[in-house]
Amino acid sequence: MSGNNKKLNILVSGGGTGGHIFPALSIANEVHRRYPEANILFVGAEGRMEMEKVPAAGYKIIGLPVSGFDRKRLWRNVAVGIKLLKSMSKARAILKEFNPDIAIGVGGYASGPMLKAAQKRGIPTLLQEQNSYAGVTNKLLAAKAERICVAYEGMERFFPQEKIVLTGNPVRRNLLECGATPEQARQAMGVSPNKKTVLIIGGSLGARTVNNAIIAGLKQIGEAYGVQVIWQTGKLYDQQCREALEASGVKNVVQMPFISNMDMAYRAADLVVSRAGASSISELQLLGKAAILVPSPNVAEDHQTKNALALVNRDAAVMVTDADAVETLVPTMLDTVGNSDLLASLSANVEKMALRDAAEHIVDEVEKIISNNKA
């Protein structure tokens, strides 16, 4: 590919949640590492998280006025349809001006109109599907995509088999490069260096059910000798959780709205309690972390439950349903963290599922597609 002197133009589209944005940025960073001169343009959805995260990472982003289909309040979809038409028109204008060599879609609202427009123009497209159950957008785009990079086996249920490449999900590189010992990491997180440690994370926005379950179980946690908890509540629930913790008088829980040094937090943990988003699961696999997964019921096609079951069926995680969490999460968590054999086997089994160097493998596929197109 280097024989051609034209600078590469790479378009990356998608977003909506951290689960879509982190993989997109990892792919962009790998393209930039190999081709420092390449022009990389992101296309996201106006008002969503990517509009601040992407510029913060040093890349240009354009927003489309697109929003998700409202399955509950169907009358709202007239506005959704109008926004979609506007987005298609804006997507065509972006393609005309930027003229990408390839368009990469990572799922989420914006990737639908953007990649559809690219396919209509004959621009090659690559899809990255993070979940074990394919999203609607990627299923609609699959027929005309050149390649579909997946993180789970068995995805030929959704996509043409000859287009599928098993690459894994890219994760934030700094998570894999943490040099601290668990003891050092615990000190950095403000907890005792020698106690069994549970890390509770509800995703970037927090998770109401998980937080309510911890509040309900604070007394039990307070009585658990030799165990401590790092509790990331999300900004929305910060005050409620902080007040509940103060009122309980429990001393072995450290609560915070957001964790910026996730590498240290993971390293400190013997057990992680998490939602079952694709990015979180990929992180747990790559780091070999024993986990209790509480799938969010508020996601399209209940894909978090399917992600969690892919691990549970291999004895690589424990699952507590959202409906049962308030009653059973804390007892399950304390039983699990107190069982060293179980922690060791969960950790070994989840690490076996890890697919490493995902961003590198995806960019290898990008290179092949561009080379074939130029040939």
How far apart are alpha carbons 145 and 330 in whole angstroms? 44
With 0-12 / 13-18 / 19 or more C-beta atoms within 10 angstroms meaning exposed / middle / buried, residue 293 is buried
Mark residue 366 as left, alpha or beta (left: phi above 0; alpha: psi -120 to 50; beta: remaining): alpha
Reported confidence tier of residue 47, pLDDT bands at 50, 70, 90:
confident
For the segment 122-165, what is each residue's pLDDT rounded down to a tens digit?
999 999 999 888 888 899 999 999 999 999 989 999 999 999 99
Q: Do 294 and 214 touch, CB atoms closer than 8 A?
A: no
**What's the distance, CA 323 to chain centroid?**
23
Query: Which of 131, 136, 133 lies closest to 115 in space, CA to CA?
Result: 136
Q: What pLDDT score was predicted for residue 301?
A: 73
In this prediction, residues 256-275 reach a mean pLDDT of 95
Q: What pTM value is reported for the model?
A: 0.86
How far apart are alpha carbons 204 and 351 in whole angstroms? 23
How far apart are alpha carbons 341 and 330 in whole angstroms? 19
Of 170-174, 192-196, 303-307, which has the strongest mean pLDDT?
Answer: 192-196
Reported confidence tier of residue 2, pLDDT bands at 50, 70, 90:
very low
Query: Which of 13, 128, 11, 9 lies closest to 64 in space, CA to CA?
Result: 13
In this prediction, residues 201-223 reach a mean pLDDT of 89
